Chains A and B, each alone.
Chain A
Amino acid sequence: MIRVLTTDQVLALAPDPTSAKAGSALATARKWARLGRDAEGRMVWGECQGSGAKPYQTRADLSEPAFKCSCPSRKFPCKHSLALLLLLAADASKFGTAEWPEWVAEWATSRQDRAERRAAKKERETDGEEKPVDSAARAKRVAARAGKISAGLGELDLWLRDFVRAGIAGAESRPGAFYESVAARLVDAQAPGAAQLVRELSAIPATGDGWHARMLARLGRLHLLTSAWPRLDTLSPETQADVRAHLGWAITEAEMSDVPGVDDEWMVIGQVLEDDDRLRVRRTWVHGVSSGRDALLLHFAAGTAPFAEMLPPVGSSLGAELVYFPGSFPQRAIIRSRREPKSSQRTFVRPPGGQRVAAAVGAFARAIALDPWIRRVPLLLEGVIPEQAGLGWRVRDEEGDTLPISPRFRGWTLLAVSGAHPVWLSAEWTGEHLAPLAVASGDTLLSLSAA
């Protein structure tokens, strides 16, 4: 059964608010001609009158969803594609059931061809791995990459030494190139994770009081990576996996085919979008209703392209088998297979296991003891009260234990929803700051990190 997306879900596909707005404005039947859909409910299409003489031909494949439009926009999906799906969400009866017009059939065929080519290629690769010749080639590739990483980390080590020899006080006046040059070197050395860690250093001097300590702590963690790498073989398999993951050489999904998965109803407890110039990162935190485990689903999208995987909104659940990446404190996971959730109920039921502040902080301590590079853990806090503290915000529990909320977070919505009563709250905890993800409000879970 192919889903017709709701208005909310369509708008969530928009690459930016401007596109969402423009798409909404175009979502009126008057603008469209020859709206149609096929009997299976897979393809929908329509012609939208633009400023030019020829109408734009817009088509979407709902099974993915995928889009194609003849307009010149570089945004993806474009406003016409969004409008087409918004129209469908608002009133599907405007779409007559018909055979694919030629321009829809062409697209469907080319997509089919491409999918087949991809599948064939994958098959060849999978087959190939079993051949001893290729296995030798693969070992050669692995060794080459390891060599590159060693060289890159060697340079990072020198850079770190120079940094502390000259004193980190000087970091305030360092140009961006100071970090960028070594980060670029690490990218070349195929250690993008380490490159990212270095890039993040450049923002620390601007973070106010105590930045020296934060900088040194980060330098220490980087040093831990550079010193762990040369003696990787002596470390436990879990720690080896940690080091590789943080360097940016995590094992591939194909390599995870033997790892057993965890089948559960995964409640989406929060979602964060981070926008880099080149890359958008979506962090989705899910909580297994039966297993009680948390997992992080990471998705990436280049530029304004949509995220490939559609996930249910915060507060809903995802029926799926997840596979955790190996490590000492497995956190990140991929979806091996999904099914329709068991219950279609829209009301949010608090998962058991909500914690007080002290217990939640204890959980973070256990995580960092296992994996010192860990950046953040999800917390499910029970019975916390948001309040203003000086210029910022914090939460407190009944015992009076407090956690500071990230200074970037505007706490008013949280205060409005809670009315200063104790609430159930999901959040990311970095050891320094709490970034609230979602708050229980009546029988719904309200996302607090909406972009």
Chain B
Amino acid sequence: MTTHATWNAIVQRAVLGTERGAAAAIPEVTSDLKSVLDRVDSSDAELALLSTAAIVSAYESAGRLPARTSSPPIEAATAEADDQPPASIGVARFLVTMLGGVNSEVLREWFAAVAARGWRVPTPMLPSLLDAGRGAPYLRSAILPILGARGRWLAARNDDWSYAAANPPAEDAALRVAWETGTPEERSAILAHARARNAALGRALLESTWADEAPSQRASLAALLATGLSLEDEPFLEQALDDRRQEVRRAAAELLGRLDRSGLVARMAARAHTALSWKPGRLLKKAEIIVEPPKELDATAARDGVEKKPPHMMGERAWWLTQIVAVVPPRVWSEKWNATPDAIISAAAAGDWTQALTEGWAAAAVLHRDAAWAESLLATGFPGEKPTSLAPKLSELLGVLAADRREAFVTRALRDVRNTDAAVTLVAAADHSWSEPFARAVLTWLGPRMVAALKAGGTAEWQLRDVIPRLALRVPPSLAGVATKNWPTNEEAGGLAGALDRFISLLTFRRELAEELDR
């Protein structure tokens, strides 16, 4: 009997217990162990079992050989892994801190800085980085460029990380195979990649499988055509307007709306022209807009994405009008009526459909990136005495403006002492990387603003508490030392102390990161 079989027999006996298996003798062994086992006193069943177990198990574990496998090892990562140099240990330490949950707001900045320098994430951090991207899809596009070949190789070995695994084949034929056989996340990545490389190829991929796509996938796949979008996509998107699923129709209408010269935009413009006409001003008489919104919503308008049911507190006709105007490039109106955006907006303000029109124009200015209109809309809307319906669009409208125009606009608002709440809202909406002069202007303005808000309490204080920490992500890190010069001290900061601390620690963290990046 082999020792292993003996050991199994002993275990079996112990499992049952000596009181049940008393009759069974301890199996014979033929190995050199026999001489040792022979010395065990077999008259005492428990003692004999324990002694035998001690001897045989020690013998077993001392003699255990490693298991040998004949299966080939997995394909090792190639030397491509050296394609990008890794970020230094000092820089990587910031990533570890943030992935551990401290100052994770700065993650995107870290990703962007490392990508801009052509670095990759050091290999030991890849698993936690890939996990972070799994939990936060909005981070993925920033993570992908810094994974390096090793990161993509690793991601391909764990289904949880498949979003990062797609290393789309360079040849179209291989890409097609990958497209047809990938997991949903891999396919999204392949389509995005194909669109960026060759928009027509990407569309062809999507068209080739469109009829078989799961309805739930269609909308998100169609939305990926946003990359490299052109009029060549129009026939496909027009056909998607007839899809059975509302999300797909909506996605298609949204994309066609972005194309100035699409049929959909032309149809919307025709509807808008029917609804709006311009009555130029004369001596002592201001210009007017005659508004006649559609009375019925026909099937073609519904097909173009105009929704029938208005949101709460809004009339049907106003809702339809807003949706139609929202798709028409705003410059159409300036050209057709030969009037400035300011003139048109103030004419609308005098009429009955002010809100429907400004909301529509605001959406259109954002959709078609029309900076002139965006600035005019902002100027009439902010800072105002009372909150306007443009508030939700504020950040997007500011985003249409070039950074210098945006900063100039906000700086003007800071000087307007009548409505500081609105100025805080504007500051909060300016979510780009601030220039140094602008950052200084805002921070200097914030000091007295905080003192006033602490005195007033309520909304003013609450608003600042919410906004201040976020500003730390936009201020140039070099200002970390001087940013808070005229701010209340810790003792004076009262209810704002937490927000100030957060601001300072975030900005300090960013400065330390910036220093480490330049080291």
Interface membership of B157, Cβ < 8 A: yes
CB within 8 Å for A417 and B10 given contacts A28-B505, A220-B57, A223-B54: no
Nearest-CB residue, chain B, relative to A30: B504
Report whether A412 and B127 are in contact in the complex, using a CB–CB cutoff of 8 Å.
Answer: yes
Please name all residues of chain B whose beta carbon is closer than 8 Å to the beta carbon of A282 when the two chains form the complex: none
CA distance A415 to B124 in the complex (A): 9
Please name 13 pairs of A and B residues whose Cβ atoms are closer than 8 Å in the assembled complex, sorted by A: A24-B97, A28-B501, A164-B14, A164-B18, A166-B19, A361-B64, A361-B66, A385-B76, A402-B67, A404-B67, A410-B127, A416-B151, A441-B124
A219 CB contact (under 8 Å) in B16, B53, B63, B490: B53
- B1-36 CB contact bits vs A (8 Å, 1 = yes)? 000000110110011111110000000000000000
Interface membership of B154, Cβ < 8 A: yes
Report whether B62 and A369 are in contact in the complex, using a CB–CB cutoff of 8 Å.
Answer: yes
CA distance A420 to B154 in the complex (A): 10
Report whether A216 and B53 are in contact in the complex, using a CB–CB cutoff of 8 Å.
Answer: yes
Known: A217-B61, A401-B66. 17 other contacts (CB 8 A): A28-B504, A30-B504, A164-B50, A169-B16, A216-B11, A216-B57, A219-B14, A221-B57, A365-B63, A387-B73, A388-B157, A403-B66, A412-B126, A412-B154, A417-B124, A441-B123, A446-B124
Report whether A212 and B51 are in contact in the complex, using a CB–CB cutoff of 8 Å.
Answer: no
CB within 8 Å for A168 and B15 given contacts A219-B53, A221-B54: yes
Interface membership of A305, Cβ < 8 A: no
The 6 A-B residue pairs with the shortest CB-CB distance in the complex, in nearest-first order: A167-B17, A419-B77, A220-B54, A220-B53, A217-B57, A223-B50
CB within 8 Å for A212 and B14 given contacts A161-B47, A417-B124: yes
Please name all residues of chain A whose beta carbon is closer than 8 Å to the beta carbon of B50 when the two chains form the complex: 160-161, 164, 219-220, 223
CA distance A30 to B502 in the complex (A): 12
**Chain A residues with a Cβ under 8 A of chain B:** 7-8, 17, 21, 24-25, 28, 30-31, 49, 90, 160-161, 164-170, 212-213, 216-217, 219-221, 223-224, 227, 357-358, 361, 364-365, 368-369, 372, 385, 387-388, 396, 399-404, 410, 412-413, 415-417, 419-421, 431, 441, 444, 446
CB within 8 Å for A165 and B504 given contacts A400-B70, A412-B158, A416-B124: no
Interface membership of B102, Cβ < 8 A: yes
CB within 8 Å for A413 and B124 given contacts A217-B53, A223-B51: yes
CA distance A387 to B46 in the complex (A): 43
Interface membership of B65, Cβ < 8 A: yes
Please name all residues of chain B whose beta carbon is closer than 8 Å to the beta carbon of A412 when the two chains form the complex: 126-127, 154, 158
CB within 8 Å for A216 and B124 given contacts A365-B62, A402-B66, A421-B77: no
Nearest-CB residue, chain B, relative to A401: B66
Report whether A413 and B127 are in contact in the complex, using a CB–CB cutoff of 8 Å.
Answer: yes
CB within 8 Å for A49 and B14 given contacts A28-B504, A419-B81, A431-B61: no
B64 CB contact (under 8 Å) in A396, A399, A431: A431
CA distance A372 to B58 in the complex (A): 6
CA distance A169 to B102 in the complex (A): 48
Interface membership of B392, Cβ < 8 A: no
Please name all residues of chain A whose beta carbon is closer than 8 Å to the beta carbon of B100 when the two chains form the complex: 17, 21
CA distance A450 to B153 in the complex (A): 24
CA distance A293 to B123 in the complex (A): 31
Secondary structure at chain A's binding surface: helix, strand, loop or mixed? helix
Report whether A420 and B158 are in contact in the complex, using a CB–CB cutoff of 8 Å.
Answer: no
Nearest-CB residue, chain A, relative to B74: A420
Please name all residues of chain B whose beta carbon is closer than 8 Å to the beta carbon of A358 when the two chains form the complex: 65-66
Nearest-CB residue, chain A, relative to B12: A212
- Residue of B50, B60, B490 with most chain A CB atoms under a 10 A cut-off: B50
Report whether B58 and A396 are in contact in the complex, using a CB–CB cutoff of 8 Å.
Answer: no
CB within 8 Å for A400 and B19 given contacts A21-B102, A165-B46: no
Please name all residues of chain A whose beta carbon is closer than 8 Å to the beta carbon of B102 when the two chains form the complex: 21, 24-25
Interface size bracket, B side: 35 or more
**Chain B residues with a Cβ under 8 A of chain A:** 7-8, 10-11, 14-20, 45-47, 49-58, 60-70, 73-77, 81, 89, 93, 97, 100-102, 123-124, 126-127, 150-151, 153-154, 157-158, 490-491, 501, 504-505, 508, 512
Report whether A164 and B66 are in contact in the complex, using a CB–CB cutoff of 8 Å.
Answer: no
CA distance A289 to B77 in the complex (A): 32
CB within 8 Å for A212 and B11 given contacts A167-B20, A403-B66, A431-B64: yes
Please name all residues of chain A whose beta carbon is closer than 8 Å to the beta carbon of B126 when the two chains form the complex: 412-413, 416
Report whether B65 and A419 are in contact in the complex, using a CB–CB cutoff of 8 Å.
Answer: no
CA distance A413 to B93 in the complex (A): 16
Shortest distance between the CB of B57 and any CB in chain A (Å): 4
Please name all residues of chain B whose beta carbon is closer than 8 Å to the beta carbon of A221 when the two chains form the complex: 54, 57-58
Report whether B150 and A416 are in contact in the complex, using a CB–CB cutoff of 8 Å.
Answer: yes
B46 CB contact (under 8 Å) in A161, A169, A368: A161
Report whether B63 and A400 are in contact in the complex, using a CB–CB cutoff of 8 Å.
Answer: no
CB within 8 Å for A401 and B68 given contacts A17-B100, A217-B53, A441-B124: yes
Report whether A168 and B54 are in contact in the complex, using a CB–CB cutoff of 8 Å.
Answer: no
Please name all residues of chain A whose beta carbon is closer than 8 Å to the beta carbon of B20 when the two chains form the complex: 167
Report whether B66 and A167 are in contact in the complex, using a CB–CB cutoff of 8 Å.
Answer: no
CA distance A417 to B124 in the complex (A): 6
Report whether A385 and B124 are in contact in the complex, using a CB–CB cutoff of 8 Å.
Answer: no
Please name all residues of chain A whose beta carbon is closer than 8 Å to the beta carbon of B18 when the two chains form the complex: 164-165
Shortest distance between the CB of A377 and any CB in chain B (Å): 12
Report whether A216 and B10 are in contact in the complex, using a CB–CB cutoff of 8 Å.
Answer: yes
Shortest distance between the CB of A30 and any CB in chain B (Å): 6
CB within 8 Å for A420 and B77 given contacts A28-B505, A30-B504: yes
Nearest-CB residue, chain A, relative to B502: A25
Report whether B15 and A212 are in contact in the complex, using a CB–CB cutoff of 8 Å.
Answer: yes
CA distance A401 to B60 in the complex (A): 18
Shortest distance between the CB of B97 and any CB in chain A (Å): 8
B54 CB contact (under 8 Å) in A165, A169, A213, A224: A224
Report whether A167 and B14 are in contact in the complex, using a CB–CB cutoff of 8 Å.
Answer: yes
Report whether B16 and A167 are in contact in the complex, using a CB–CB cutoff of 8 Å.
Answer: yes
Please name all residues of chain A whose beta carbon is closer than 8 Å to the beta carbon of B154 when the two chains form the complex: 412, 415-416, 419
CA distance A396 to B60 in the complex (A): 22
Nearest-CB residue, chain A, relative to B130: A412
Shortest distance between the CB of B333 and any CB in chain A (Å): 52
Report whether A419 and B75 are in contact in the complex, using a CB–CB cutoff of 8 Å.
Answer: no
CA distance A396 to B70 in the complex (A): 11
